[in-house]
Structure formats: C-alpha cells, structure tokens
Structure 1
Amino acid sequence: MNTDIPLPGLEVYRSSQLEPEDFLQFWASTVADSRTHDVDVVLERVDTGLETVDVYDVTFSGFGGHRIRGWLRIPAGANEPLPAVVEFAGYGGGRGHAIENLFWASSGFAHLHMDSRGQGSGWSLGATPDPVGSGPHAPGMWTQGIESPESYYYRRLYTDGVRAVDAARTLPAIDPRRVSVVGVSQGGGAAIAVGALAPEVQAVVALVPGPSDFPRSLALNDRYPWREVTDYLAVHRGSVAQVERTLAYFDAVNFARHATAPARFSVGLMDPVVLPSSVFGAYNAYTAPKGIAVWPYNGHEGGGPDDLLQARRFLLAL
C-alpha cells in the first residue's frame, strides 16, 4: 500500500527542516581540513578472471587522513580517459566483492565504488574500519557521535565521499571533467551531500535517497534505521534539541538547497523505509536541474534495474 501522502501532495511538499546558520561554514571547514591530507591514491590490480572488466583495489585518504578502500572497475582495453561514476553504498553495506556491481564498467564508465567506513557486514562486504570512537549510542551507525555535528559519524562518511571524488579526478583513466556521483538509499543521500560539497561533480544520481527530512521522518517512520535515533532519544530524553541540531547538518534537504549539478532522483510510493515525502523533501528543495522517476507500486527497491538504465541514459546525455 502507499506509505505516505498522495502523489499530488508530494509534488508540492516542502520539508520543515531548517538550515543551521553556519551550515556552509561548517562543511567548508570540514572539507578544507580533509584536503590538508594528500589524497594519496594507491591502486593494486586484482586478478578476477574477468575478461571485459579490469578491477583494482583502491585506497585513498578520507576524513582525517584515514585510509579508505574501494574498487575501481574499468572496461578492459580502455585507452582514453573515461567518464566516471563514484558510487556510495546503502546502509549496512560496503564495497562488496571485486566481481560484483559490474553495470557501470560494462556501460563504458570508470566505476569507483567507495567502501563505507565501519559498515559492510549487513548485506555486503566492507573492508574499511572507522578509527574514530564515539560515546554511548544505539546499535547501528545513525547515533554514533550524534550529540555534536563535529563528532557525528556522517561527517566522516560524507567527507570520505568528497575525497573519493578528489581521488577519482587524479586517475589517468578518468576524465576529471566527467565525474558523477551515484547511490541508493544511504548512498543516494551521500550522493546529494557530495554533489553539494564538491562543485567539480558533473551530475548526481540519488535513488530512493536517505537520510532526508529528519523532522517528518523521525515523527512518522518507526522502521530502522530511523528508529535508531528514536531509540536513543527514548533513553537520552534531555538530548532532543541537541540531536535535532546535529541532524540538520546532515539532512539531504539542506544539501539539496545548495545543489549545482543536474540530478536524477527516484522514489517508490510504497516505500516503508524511506518515506516518499522525505525523498520529495530533498527533491523539491534541489536547486539545480532535476528529474525524478516515480514508481507507484514499488517499495525501497525503487525501480531496480530500470532505475539503473534510466540513470545511464541520463549520464550519457550530459
């Protein structure tokens, strides 16, 4: 069944999320600090046995200079700089196996699939630890360091994403003018954030993106991972204002308000994990050219392979 307000209401919906006064300053300082570390990209060829795609184990410097891993997949035999896709994983997942996720390289793109620090044991493999600890938190990543924007987990993850774009743009196999960011769910939210923080990004593909529109989602969505936050606040009753302030720095709605790259979104109207209104909260706030695929009978899978095919057409048309 539909999980939110009808489509005509979604098309005009506006999130109540407010932007912190120092939002841009906070993120400019964060990104600048990360760039004081040499991105120091290291590639190691992986013998996968594949004949049409070459795969490299990648490491580069992310937030705090921490070493972040990923896979670089390139069409075999490519002899000129390629358009590139930097992909961010969904919640609980990592970069996966070297021979997974071959769609983008098989479509003629260089594909840098970034690992998510501290994740990668839920449904796909990860290989990057998060060396930063946090205070008490609910199980999962959503409340790690949530009492402060400076300590919050997603500050590190989104900064890693910016540095992944920086890393991709240094590689001879990639055309630095044609680097786009892509993600599903958590990865879609990361793509919106990185697209706003890295003006070098050519385009953004945000499929069923979250986390977005925290004010509405936390009030109406009892599904995890949103419930990680409500579980935390059910115990830390005096921290509501501080947590709400922290989350405002990481809401896709606020990043969307500073978008400069063209974007392709998608939404499933039967999605119980990321409410359609939260997707439209970010989409309707998005200030650059945009389009959205609406899947009326789909949930959090969105359009699945049809989303990917539409995304490929969108990027090839740029």
Structure 2
Amino acid sequence: MPTHPLTSHDNELSPPLHHDFPFDPTHGYDLPRLLEVGAPAGPDDFVDFWQERYARALRVDPAPRLEGPWTTVDGLRVADVSYTSVDGVRIGGWLTVPADGRVLQGCVATHGYGGREAPDLRQPPPGTATIWPCLRGLGTRSLLPGVASNSAGHVLHGIGSRESYVIGGCVADVWGAAGALLRLVPEAAGRLTYLGTSFGGGIGALALPWDDRFHAAGLTVPTFGNHPLRVTLPCTGSGESVRTRLAEDPSVLDVLAYFDAATAARHLRIPVHVGAALFDPSVPPPGQFAIHNALAGPRELLVLRAGHFDHPDEPAETAALEEAQRRFLSEAD
C-alpha cells in the first residue's frame, strides 16, 4: 500500500475549476481533510445481512446463455450474453474474451448510473475474459417494468425496506455475473477481478467483501459512501433524490445504513485501487474518500482533479487512471 496518495495532476499548478453549480463540488474539503473522512460502523447485523444475501444469491443457477454470434474487435471476441439473478430477473450484457484464446484472468465490469450501451474494450488488462452486465433496471439490456432507468428514480426504488431496495438486487447481479462468467469461461476462476465506476464503484464495494471468488478490484469515483454525511451534501447525482426523500421520510436512513459502501469497505480485504476526485458535482468527494479510507486490505489511491465534470485535463487523467488500474489488476497479489 503506498504511503501517500498518487495524483494525476499537480495541485499547485492546476487553476480552480470554473462551474455554475449552486454549490461547491468540493464541499470545502481539501485532500488532507478528505483522507480523514471515516465510515459508519453500520447496524449490528450488517455482516449477517450481507452474508445471508450472498448465500441466497449463490443458490440461484445463473444459466448463462450467449444471445448471438461472436464478432471480433481489437483482438477480442465479443458476444451478447444473459444470465439469471435473484428474484428470477434475467440480466443482459456482453462477454469479451481474448481472440487468441489465452485467458490470464477474469473480470466483472459494471457501469455508472448512465447504464451501458456497449463494452469498453480498453478498460481491462490484456488477456482478460470480461462480463459486462447491465445491472437490473438499467440500460440497455436489463430494463424492468416499473423500475425507473434514470438515476433519480432508480435509486429510490424499493427504498422503504432493506429487503426490497433495488440496490440489493444490483449487488446480487454482480455475484450472478461472476457465476455466469466462470461457467462460460472456467479458466477465469484463477484470477477474478472487478471494475466499477460511480454507481458501479459503490455496488462493487457492497458486493466484494462477501465473495471470496474475487482477487482484486478497481473502483472509480464510487458512490454510496458514508450516507449520514452524503445526505447533507447537495449534488447533481442520485444522492440528491435520496436527500429529498429523506426530508420527507427520515426512516430511509435506517435502510440506507445497510447499503453504505464505506461501511462495507471496512470488511473488504482484497487489494483495491481507488480513483477518487477532489471535485465532483455528481458524487460528493467525501463519500468517495470514505470508501477508500475504510478499506481493510491493500489499497492504492489515485487522486483525480475532478469526476463527472468535463475539464481540460480529463482525457489525460482518464488515460492515467485506466493504465494504473490495468497495472494494479494484473500485479495485485
């Protein structure tokens, strides 16, 4: 674990980011203060709740199925895929495998709250067999009747109960994706990894502590961290819907306590690379850093100038992050 965070930019030379948001996307936190943000301990039965959900999910036969012909793009074979998750929900996505057939590792790669229309073939390291699920209710492959596909509505679906909350189903979809990938590409079992950005980063932090099939992970600007703090911070992302709902129904915070990615990170012991932003209008930076700070195992942090925001350094920053995570996933012990 590095003794200090790596940065993708020079804080002293970078000018302030200009914006027209009615709030400060840094929320007044500089890097030293962000590195001190803690994680809630969570309910007494937090671990039992998630271990039981994981055991329940493993009893579901993923019954993976290729949904069309293979195509070859940039040295990878690509095919549509589907599998069954909890509650009988059929999840759609894509499977990519090295065209030369040499599989060095596997990966479950999830998406942000914008969903996914196609796999991002550059993300995983070379030699990776990757499943790219669209988690339940989200596009373009896993839309569900009655579940909003936009972040504002999706994040509130079933939030009245820890059993019905859609985020729990999305976490189970990750476990199902792992089972589907290992059924379709058994040689990926020796080194299974995870990649998740924003929504997918938070979902990964919730899913990975209970699943010993995973070897390492990369989480980028992860959400759902430190809900008690998060709901005090205005944003343009899904957290704003939660803030509004909480004002109407304070009991929502009791449910959210079971879905706090920072609390879950306290139990995550595999090596994890985190890309966390100093400035982010969509996912408040303190929540992102709360997840990183709480990780119980080896970790590496790449500090980003901004997340969910176009700025001149963004292309270089994204390239540096992707390269760092490819290296991390390939080298993590």
Find the aligned partners of 1:223 and 1:105 in 2 and give their Cα distance. Answer: 29
The letter for the 2-side match of 1:309 is: E
For residues 73 and 290 of structure 2, the distance between their equivalents in structure 1, rounded to whole angstroms, comes to: 42
Task: Determine helix, strand or coil for the equivalent of 1:181.
Answer: strand
- TM-score, structure 2 as length reference: 0.83
Structure 1 contact 264–314 (Cα < 8 Å) conserved: yes
Q: How big is each residue's C-alpha offset from its partner over 1:19-50, in whole Å with a ceiling of 9 and x where there is no partner?
A: 11111111122222222221211124535463
- Match of residue 230 from structure 1: 243
**Separation in structure 2 between the aligned mates of residue 49 and residue 88 of structure 1, nearest angstrom:** 21
Greater RCO, 1 or 2 (C-alpha within 8 Å, sep 6+): 2
User: Is the partner of 1:210 in helix, strand or coil?
Assistant: coil
Q: Secondary structure at the match of 1:111?
A: strand
1:45–1:56 CA contact under 8 A, matched in 2: yes
Q: Given the superposition, is the C-alpha separation of residues 83 and 145 from structure 1 closer, same or farther in structure 2, using an over 3 Å criterion?
A: same
Matches of 1:255 and 1:102, distance apart in 2 = 29
User: Deviation at 1:223?
Assistant: 2.2
The offset of 1:282, in angstroms, is 1.0
Range with bigger deviation, 157-166 or 218-227: 218-227
Report the Cα distance in structure 2 between the residues aligned to 1:72 and 1:47, rounded to whole angstroms. Answer: 9
**Residue 89 (structure 1) aligned to one of 111, 126, 131:** 111
Deviation at 1:227, TM superposition (A): 1.1
Deviation at 1:183, TM superposition (A): 0.8
Give unpaired runs (5+ residues) of structure 2.
1-16, 18-24
Which residue in 2 is equivalent to 1:123?
Answer: none
**For each residue in 1:224-281, what CA deviation from the matched residue of structure 2 results, as whole angstroms up to 9, or x when unmatched?**
31111122234xx3x20x2101111111111101112100001121212222211111
Deviations 1:176-202 (A, max 9, x none): 020101011011111212211212100
- The structure-2 alpha-carbon separation of the partners of 1:274 and 1:139, relative to structure 1 and needing over 3 Å to count, comes to closer
TM-score normalised over the length of structure 1: 0.87
In structure 2, what is the equivalent of residue 299 of structure 1?
307
Q: Deviations over 1:156-211 (max 9, x none)?
A: 00011111112222233632020101011011111212211212100011011112
Q: Which residue of 1 aligns with 2:183?
A: 170
Kindly tell me: are residues 104 and 13 of structure 1, through their superposed partners in 2, closer, same or farther at Cα, counting changes over 3 Å? closer
> Residue type of the partner of 1:30?
R
Q: State the identity %.
A: 30
Within 1, Cα distance between the matches of 2:48 and 2:283?
Answer: 28
Q: How many Å separate the matches in 1 of 2:262 and 2:136? A: 23
Note if contact 2:89-2:136 (Cα within 8 Å) is conserved in structure 1.
no
Q: 2:230 maps to what in 1?
A: 217
2:50 paired residue number: 27
Alignment partner of 1:76 out of 88, 96, 99: 99
In structure 2, the residue matched to 1:153 is 166
Partner-residue secondary structure (3-state), 2:236 = coil
Structure 1 unpaired stretches of 5+: 121-125
Displacement of 1:105 in angstroms is 6.1
- How far 1:149 moved relative to its partner? 0.4
- Residue 258 in 1 paired to residue 267 in 2? yes
CA distance in 2, matches of 1:279, 1:203: 18
Within-5 A mapping of 1:1-318? 1=17, 3-4=26-27, 5-15=29-39, 17-48=40-71, 50=73, 52-78=75-101, 80-94=102-116, 96-97=117-118, 100-104=119-123, 107-120=126-139, 126-130=140-144, 139-172=152-185, 174-234=187-247, 237=248, 239-240=249-250, 242-295=251-304, 297-300=305-308, 303-318=317-332
Query: Which runs of structure 1 show a deviation greater than 6 angstroms over 4 or more consecutive aligned residues?
Result: none
Compute the RMSD of aligned alpha carbons: 2.3
Check whether the contact 2:125–2:327 (CA below 8 A) recurs between aligned residues: no
